[in-house]
Amino acid sequence: MAAQACIIPLKMQLVQSMLTRVMKSQKSLHIKTFLLILVMVITGPLGNVLLSKGMKQAGSLALWPPAEVPHTVARVLSTGSLWLGIASLLTFFLANILVLSWADYSFVQPASSMGYGVSALLGYFMLGEPVSPLRWVGITIICLGVFVVGQTQPQSLEHS
């Protein structure tokens, strides 16, 4: 009887300890997921805007006659914005594959859609593109959807 009295508190401590570890790992998972999605939301649109800027700097591309192709390729590859865009998109890709290694795709993809708002802002400020009020309404609706998705768990099942 005395042995059972000692075992019950030990079991309770063990369960409490396990719950504490799970809760801490869940919080850590949320922070990691949030940070990597933030990286995705910034670097994806930034990379695309830099690619656009680089291609505009390269100017009109001549692919005909075939003798113009090497000159066109050299002009494109000498554009600094293009290389910055590629680096930014590689960062996006790395963050994307990392977060998908533990979080559900059905969470990550909608949550990263906040990048549509970032794209419009970057297009407006970096490229001087006009953004119509109707487009801002659409982007706002997307961002509201992201907020709804963000209220759910990033991981629906325990991944092995």
Boundaries of every domain in the chain = 34-150
State the pLDDT at residue 106: 85
Instruction: Output the pTM of the full model.
Output: 0.73
pLDDT averages per 10-residue partition of the chain, 160 residues? 59 60 65 92 96 88 80 86 96 96 87 90 94 93 85 64
Here the contacts of 85-90 (C-beta below 8 Å, separation 24 or greater) are 85/46, 85/47, 85/48, 85/49, 85/50, 85/51, 85/52, 85/53, 85/54, 86/47, 86/51, 87/47, 88/43, 88/44, 88/46, 88/47, 88/50, 89/43, 89/44, 89/47, 89/48, 89/51, 90/47
